[in-house]
Amino acid sequence: MFSNFLIWFVIVPVLMLIGLGLCRNSSMKAIRTVMVVGSTILLAMSLWLCVDFLAQRAAGAADEMLFTGSWMWYEPLNIHLAVGVDGISVLMLILSSVIVFAGTFASWKIDPLPKNFFLWFTLLSTGVFGFFISIDMFTMFMFYEVALIPMYLLIGVWGTGRKEYSAMKLTLMLMGGSAFLMLGLFGIYWHSSADPNSLTWNILEISNNAAIDPGWQNYLFCLTFVGFGVLGAMFPFHTWSPDGHACAPTAVSMLHAGVLMKLGGYGCFRIAIFLLPQAANELAWFFIILTGISIVYGAFSACVQTDLKYINAYSSVSHCGMVLFAILMLNTTAMTGAILQMLSHGLMTALFFALIGMIYGRTHTRDIRQMGGLMKIMPYLGVCYMIAGFASLGLPGLSGFVAEMTIFFGSFEHADTFHRVFVIAATCSIVITAVYILRVVGKLLLGPVQDEHHLKLTDATWFERVATITLIVCIAAIGCFPNWINETIQHSFTPIIEVINQAANSGAMASVM
Amino acid sequence: MELTMLWYLVPSVIMFICGVYGFITRHNLIAILLSLELMLNAADLNFVVFNRFLFPGAMEGMFFTLFSIGIAAAETAIAVAIVVNIYRAIGNTDINEIKKMRF
Amino acid sequence: MEMTLPILILAIPITMFLILGIGGVYMSKKMAGVLGILGMGVTMCIAYYVALTYFFSGDPAFIDAQGLRLQVPVFDWLWLAFTNALQVKLGFLLDPISAMMLIVITTISFMVHLYSWGYMEGEKGFQRFYAFLSLFSFSMLGLVVATNIFQMYIFWELVGVSSYLLIGFYYKLPSAVSASKKAFIVTRFADLGFLIGILILSFYCKTFDFIPITNDPTSVLASTGGATFMGASVLTWALVLIFVGGMGKSAMMPLHIWLPDAMEGPTPVSALIHAATMVVAGVYLVARMFPLYLIEEASLLFVTCVGAITAFYAAVVACCQIDIKRVLAFSTISQIAFMMVALGVARPELHDGFGYMASMFHLFTHAMFKALLFLGAGALIHAVHSNDYTAMGGLRKYMPITHWTFLIGCLAIAGIWPFSGFFSKDEMLAAMFANHWFWGAWMTMVAGLTAFYMFRLYYLIFWWEENPHYKEHKPHDAPWQMSLPLIILAAVSCVAGFIPFGEFVTWNRMPYHIHIELPVAATSLTVAILAIALATVMYRKKNPIPSRLKAAMPGLWQAAHRRFYWDEIYMFITHKIIFNIICKSIAWFDRHVIDATMDGFAKITQKTSFAIRGMQSGSIQTYIVWYFLGAVLLAGITWICIF
């Protein structure tokens, strides 16, 4: 079992948990050492995984998933701890480890109870890593829950503002999503095979078995898509996002917007679309409407907010809407765009929230009306904020542009009016994004200094620089050299597109007969 | 006049209903405990009677009654102990005073 | 041509940007300035070498036996593959217009780099300024050498952002911040059109590359399969939408509102970006796609109309501005519109489509003399510390170099022989007359207005009456770093007209022999001279005619001065309607409807549990009652069920 490389992505965080548990409460140094060493190891592992993965692919490994392994966990229900990765999971693992790494540095001076904070933080990352390596629906779901629950405490204890309310709201809404999801997953399990003795949770096995009954597919698709969509901030289930992000501590916002919201998109894609292709073909239109609304609606809402975190939370609604929107286009290009958008949004939103946390730590306000001219006072943070803003509004050379363009060009492959209208509506969001980003940049960073007390503030410290530079380098790397990502993930879509096309054909056949 | 089952069951029912009535209406914990015993004994009586009349060849009913008497004794001991503790804590044994555990 | 040199043209500016942007804070101002100028100088030399080799070497790789100049993709690297067919490449396309643009951009950029050394001396953020200039040069060069429309879009966005950064260079000034924001958002809005245009075009063509699209436009038309939308063919829609992107960057009506405000940036920036290079990107875009526009005449007609309206509008407004940079900005808009009209009227059957050649020719000459005028304006502003002509007057004695060079610029833009503007404008007017007399007449009128407002500006700055402030603070000519570019550009403006431009740049890349159309030339020259004479009468010496004229038609003057209220209209739409009505109501809806629903679920749950918690009374006796009632009920039900 330990010879499988992937399982170490869960073991390392667990070791970190043990290490943290052994630290004394007051020993900041020991806690930081454990966190930095652990997150660096994770980062190195994910990069190595990517290199190894590409090497194996280049050597001709054509399996859908590589590094697979499966160990029985609970026999009566045939639950396994099954792991395996394709290109998408590899990228998601890199994203998670980058953000955990940056998040560690961003919460360098967390107060109070640093040990407990990092314990929960690491538990959350355990869930995230576990989710991305699993190919067994049950363990996937389990890790999903492991990632959600620590959120409650992290926001409730270390948050700011109306933290109890927000923590409760976020947890309850996501748990509501989980309830749908659980029903959906159980449904898929019961229909996973024609033979009642060989029911399975394994995604690959289910996709190889005979297709699920179309009538059931529709119900299950709605359940799973909505279940994951809640986490992906799909309209109208997005309202946990503004409140939750606004009250969460910096690193938690980073991890939540950066990685946790990606769990939604990834899940929709891996389970809802892949296992229920026929329903996906049939019902995509409905969810395209919802996600299309998300995109434009989130962007418009962001224009009038005055709290920095609310602006970014609404912009996340818009950008994550774009992810689900692209997934629903059901073609390779748009789905590639969705993955790129997940990476891009993860990195730049993490950067945004890190910077907001740093600015808030200095000015003690997040209201843009009370700040101004910060560029002069803290040029480093100002420049980073501008870079994050430009990434968000889609400046070429940064990641947002590549992702959005791939989505638009992929979505435009559908020639019917319905799709066209929604694609064009989605493209409008690039203008609205520019409006709210420049509004914030203009008010917050440029112009005269609003508050004289701010003149005494200092620029970034070294650990803040580590956090921001890590993220900026990744954003620029994706933006300048996007094609290697395309190459990493291009094989991953083949099976999905195949089942979708098959389903579309069989649907057409059925309607003809 | 033959003593049919009814002769035993009717007093048992009366006893049981007395127990219920007492359980519901009394405020003193000790009295409630007594009522509880009354109900228990009514049930025991039924066991014996049914065993005697319906299954004369078997002894399960008798044994069960003995078992039940034993349990009832233990239960009473615990209950009295609780009552004594409650009395020490709040100074009386009125059931209306003990509502701390509700919602 | 081997790859190294063309790559350097792009690599040097971006490297400079990174060096100055990241390391700028650690180096002295002088060091940064020298590095920037040196980098641009080397880039300019290489660009000249590349362009001149392309035009003059006679290498069969560049020109074939019939004299046809070839389009040479020097390199073309895969950057991002959307699908197997739709691939974005980053490359370097060498053809007549891109070679010509290389010369224009590097020349002006180098002049501006040099000029800024004097102009920006002592400014805070000197290093940042040079970094942004390098970024802009990189983006603009990348734009013109684009091998495909998507690469063009990429650099199109990058020039937009460098323009944003440079307009907002004085970021502590609220006016500069809002001007930069406005410029970015307006052009972004236009870019949306561009993007949708690309989406449509690439959907049908299955390629982004210019060479297959422009060399075989009929197959593009065929690939659309005659699809139409709202009465116009899909291709027309695509081309018009792409042109909308060009309208944004080139400040055509009604997307012109950002350019006058962009004058908040430092003057060298205005000269480089908002006069000579970036704003002609729209013209360049249409020129690049010209063969495609040709097969959809409706789209060319659209270009012509937009250009004609804008040219007239901007010329009228320019007559009534006080800020000298605004006058120049409106004159830029008007001149670019001129180029648009010239492109729009070009047809292959009319003298081999020489409108196209004329448009490019004017682009070239205009870049030189407009940069000259802006840099001259910069020298004036540097001397009197104000943007308004009311603070100037009678400056010719104090600033002779600026005076003479500015006069050359004015003569060139007015179209007086033998200055460069005469030749290019004459060709354009001839092309317009050749298409339809209306366009010719209309644009001749605009040319007259141009001569008038430019000389109005000239006289008000250098003649009129001396400003009393000069006694306290005597204005003088600028230092050599600033004067040298003025002299060079003035010299270029004097002689550029004699370049046989048609030999190099034509729409079909075959040589075309320019000949002056005498009737057209005579008319336009007469009109220009009359307009200059009128300006001389009105503004040479202080006299009451202008104020009397103003008093005679106050409404018109006010409207023109306020630019016919376009800004107010936009303000109303963006702030009142979009921001206050749409955005706020959506935000309200989110908080009070959607979020309230979600909170409502929680509230309902809470209320229900409060309502039923009374049953948990804590009284055992109550429980027992319920228990017995329940037991009896159950017994009753069982009884009924059994019997």
Minimal Cβ distance to C80: which of A239, A393, A486:
A486
Sign of CA dihedral A176, A181, A182, A186: positive
Question: What pLDDT does B102 receive?
Answer: 65
Strand pairing of A79-85 and C232-233? unpaired
CA-based radius of gyration for chain A: 22
Substitution target in C610, C615, C621 with the highest count of B β-carbons within 10 Å is C621
Distance from CA of B70 to the nearest CA of C (A): 24
Distance from CA of A300 to the nearest CA of C (A): 5
Taking the C-alpha atoms of residue A259 and residue A370, their distance in angstroms, rounded to an integer, is 31
When comparing pLDDT for C597 and C2, which is higher?
C597
Q: Which helix (H) or strand (E) holds A246?
A: helix A240-247
With 80 as the cut, is the pLDDT of residue B100 above it? no
**Chain A residue numbers touching C158 (CB-CB < 8 A):** 395-397
Substitution target in C20, C150, C199 with the highest count of A β-carbons within 10 Å is C199
Question: What pLDDT does A388 receive?
Answer: 92
Residues of C near B (Cβ–Cβ under 8 Å) read: 613-614, 616-621, 624-625, 628
Place C152 in a pLDDT band, splitting at 50, 70 and 90: very high
Taking the C-alpha atoms of residue A496 and residue A334, their distance in angstroms, rounded to an integer, is 13
The first and second tokens of residue A130, run together, are: 């576990």
Question: What pLDDT does A39 receive?
Answer: 92
Question: How does pLDDT run across C374-420, given as a tens digit for each residue?
Answer: 998 888 888 888 888 877 777 778 888 888 888 999 988 888 888 88
Q: Which chains neighbour C (Cβ–Cβ under 8 Å, 3 or more pairs)?
A: A, B
With 90 as the cut, is the pLDDT of residue C630 above it? yes
Substitution target in A243, A306, A435 with the highest count of C β-carbons within 10 Å is A435
Contact flag C621-B103 (C-beta cutoff 8 Å) = no
Contacts of A278 (CB under 8 A, 6+ apart): A211, A214, A217, A503, A506, A507
Q: Which amino acid is at C403?
A: H
Q: Quick one: C240 exposed, middle or buried, by C-beta within 10 A (0-12, 13-18, 19+)?
A: buried
Q: What is the mean pLDDT of residues C527-531?
A: 89
With 90 as the cut, is the pLDDT of residue C634 above it? yes
Give the whole-number percent of chain C exceeding pLDDT 90.
20
The top-scoring range by mean pLDDT among A494-498, C53-57, C193-197, C263-267 is C193-197
Domains of chain B, each with CATH number or no CATH: 10-90 (1.10.287.3510)
Count CB pairs under 8 A between chains A and C. Answer: 120
The first and second tokens of residue C507, run together, are: 């729409």
| Tally of CA atoms within 13 A in the half-sphere of A117 that contains its CB | 26
Place B103 in a pLDDT band, splitting at 50, 70 and 90: low
Q: CA angle, A495 as apex, A490 and A499 as ends, to 5°?
A: 135
Contact flag C184-A434 (C-beta cutoff 8 Å) = yes
SS3 assignment for C411-439:
HHHHCCCCCHHHHHHHHHHHHHHHHCHHH
Question: What pLDDT does C513 receive?
Answer: 79
Question: What pLDDT does B101 receive?
Answer: 63
Q: Quick one: A267 exposed, middle or buried, by C-beta within 10 A (0-12, 13-18, 19+)?
A: buried
Contact flag C613-B103 (C-beta cutoff 8 Å) = yes
Give the whole-number percent of chain C exceeding pLDDT 70.
100
Contact flag C619-B99 (C-beta cutoff 8 Å) = yes
Contact flag C154-A396 (C-beta cutoff 8 Å) = yes
Q: Is B43 on the interface with C (CB under 8 A)?
A: no
Substitution target in C84, C203, C590 with the highest count of A β-carbons within 10 Å is C590
SS3 assignment for A289-351:
HHHHHHHHHHHHHHHHCCEHHHHHHHHHHHHHHHHHHHHCCCCHHHHHHHHHHHHHHHHHHHH
List, in sequence order, every residue forming a beta bridge with C89; answer none if it has no partner: C78
> How far from A21 is each of A104, A108, A115, A377, CA to CA, in Å?
17, 18, 8, 40
Touch B-A: 3+ C-beta pairs under 8 A:
no
Minimal Cβ distance to C624: which of B24, B102, B103:
B24
Instruction: Tell me the ipTM for this assembly.
Output: 0.91
Question: What pLDDT does C464 receive?
Answer: 78
Question: What pLDDT does C153 receive?
Answer: 93
Contact flag A396-C583 (C-beta cutoff 8 Å) = no
Question: How does pLDDT run across B13-40, given as a tens digit for each residue?
Answer: 999 999 999 988 888 889 999 999 999 9
Residue C598 · residue A169 · CB < 8 Å: yes
Question: What pLDDT does A476 receive?
Answer: 92
Question: What pLDDT does A374 receive?
Answer: 85
Question: How does pLDDT run across C464-493, given as a tens digit for each residue?
Answer: 777 777 777 777 777 888 888 888 889 988
With 90 as the cut, is the pLDDT of residue C43 above it? yes
Question: How does pLDDT run across C45-93, given as a tens digit for each residue?
Answer: 999 999 988 888 878 888 888 878 888 888 888 888 888 888 888 889 8
Other Cβ atoms less than 10 A from the Cβ of C418: the count is 12
Question: What pLDDT does C265 receive?
Answer: 85
Strand pairing of A79-85 and A66-74? antiparallel
Question: What pLDDT does A511 receive?
Answer: 53
Distance from CA of B1 to the nearest CA of C (A): 31
Contact flag B95-C620 (C-beta cutoff 8 Å) = yes
With 80 as the cut, is the pLDDT of residue C597 above it? yes
Residue A136 · residue A201 · CB < 8 Å: yes
Q: Which amino acid is at A390?
A: F
SS3 assignment for A316-332:
HHHHHHHHHHHHCCCCH
Question: Which residue numbers in chain A have pLDDT < 70?
Answer: 1, 507-513
Question: What pLDDT does B48 receive?
Answer: 92
With 60 as the cut, is the pLDDT of residue C322 above it? yes
Q: What are phi and psi of C74, to 5 degrees?
A: -65, -45
